[in-house]
């Protein structure tokens, strides 16, 4: 394959996409371990996407580093040796695994078209495993062992995001966490308009704000001294076109010296509406567990059952491990899901 060494390449690495100024820079990134076999590159002057391991110069560096080239043993080796496809304007090369065989499918790269392969096939709200030996973990931690091995090129449904992990579901319904750099979201292979439209699905934390945060350390029953119970009140602002749900908030309280006293997570049920804002509160129905939820969702419930009003209070009450008053608190969103609409996905739905 003839390659211009000083032309710009487009690189897709997990959920990130950037340009690289020439093959020499690509080789440097590969030598330093910043590019892996499963990352994807687009040669200059083409609309063709290839794995890093498809480029001979980079494959040799991977081999020197002890890399396997990034393909499973049961992948068709004929495809591996013939995977340098002609550059066809407006065409996208996608690997689909069928019966353990990798099939290269040349598909139109159409700006706003969501489905990449047939009815119910690949969509911009799905992602594909790019790492050999990857899979789903039970918790979003790098040290966690795999609970669901997933083959390279397998398709996953996006469920939510937490830090550097996506919560995902396999086609047979198993769920778990996968590192964001072990997958390539399909929307990353679309046009600039497509990437802008679907970015909130994969990076919802970029589009939600925590505002008007305030808290009060609650007194005991006699009102004599403060307890370890704190009521947090804050508002979410959703700056995307997608409803947000499955929120997990982390509250960290600190003393006057800035030392952390305790950190607690708060699960928030309900919806943060698109391009809108909502406060949080707690619903305490007798004989049921208290439920922290968005006021937006509570109002919808209240319209159907007005008696719920007497069980609703603003804010979220949490118990924290502290023996003295705190003077500062940090509030941040640690987990979140943007709900795809019908255009974004035929598989992942609000329910």
Decide if 251 contacts 233 (C-beta within 8 A). no
* pLDDT for res 300: 95
Q: Which residue in 38, 60, 58 sits closest to 49, CA to CA?
A: 38
Band of the pLDDT at 233, cuts 50, 70, 90? confident
Band of the pLDDT at 176, cuts 50, 70, 90? very high
The predicted model scores a pTM of 0.69
pLDDT digits (tens, 9 = 90+) for 112-135: 444 444 344 577 778 889 888 899
Most confident of 24-33, 62-71, 74-83, 199-208: 199-208
Residue 211: Cβ within 10 Å count: 11
């Amino acid at each position: 394959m003839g390659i211009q060494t000083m032309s710009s390449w487009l690189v897709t690495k997990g959920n990130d996409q950037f340009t690289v100024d020439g093959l020499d820079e690509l080789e440097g990134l590969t030598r330093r371990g910043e590019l892996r076999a499963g990352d994807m590159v687009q040669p200059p002057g083409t609309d063709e996407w290839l794995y890093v391991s498809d480029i001979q110069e980079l494959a040799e560096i991977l081999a020197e580093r002890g890399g396997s080239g990034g393909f499973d043993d049961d992948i068709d080796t004929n495809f591996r040796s013939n995977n340098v496809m002609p550059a066809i304007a407006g065409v996208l090369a996608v690997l689909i695994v069928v019966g353990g065989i990798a099939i290269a499918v040349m598909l139109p790269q159409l700006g706003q078209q969501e489905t990449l392969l047939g009815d119910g096939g690949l969509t911009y709200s799905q992602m594909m495993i790019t790492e050999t030996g990857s899979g789903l973990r039970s918790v979003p931690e790098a040290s966690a062992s795999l609970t669901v091995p997933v083959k390279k090129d397998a398709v996953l449904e996006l469920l939510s995001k937490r830090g550097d992990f996506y919560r995902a579901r396999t086609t047979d319904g198993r769920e778990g966490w996968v590192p964001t750099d072990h997958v390539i979201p399909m929307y990353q292979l679309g046009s600039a308009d497509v990437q802008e439209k679907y970015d909130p699905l994969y990076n919802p934390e970029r589009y939600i704000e925590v505002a008007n945060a305030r808290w009060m350390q609650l007194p005991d029953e006699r009102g004599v001294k403060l307890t370890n119970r704190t009521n947090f009140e804050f508002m979410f602002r959703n700056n995307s076109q997608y409803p947000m749900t499955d929120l997990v908030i982390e509250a960290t309280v600190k003393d006057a010296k800035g030392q952390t006293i305790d950190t607690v997570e708060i699960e928030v049920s309900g919806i943060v509406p698109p391009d809108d804002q909502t406060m949080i509160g707690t619903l305490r129905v007798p004989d049921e567990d208290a439920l922290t939820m968005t006021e937006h969702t509570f109002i919808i419930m209240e319209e159907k059952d007005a008696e719920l009003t007497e069980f609703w209070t603003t804010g979220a009450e949490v118990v924290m491990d502290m023996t003295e008053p705190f003077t500062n608190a940090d509030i941040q969103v640690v987990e979140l899901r943007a709900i795809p609409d019908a255009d974004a996905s035929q598989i992942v739905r609000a329910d």
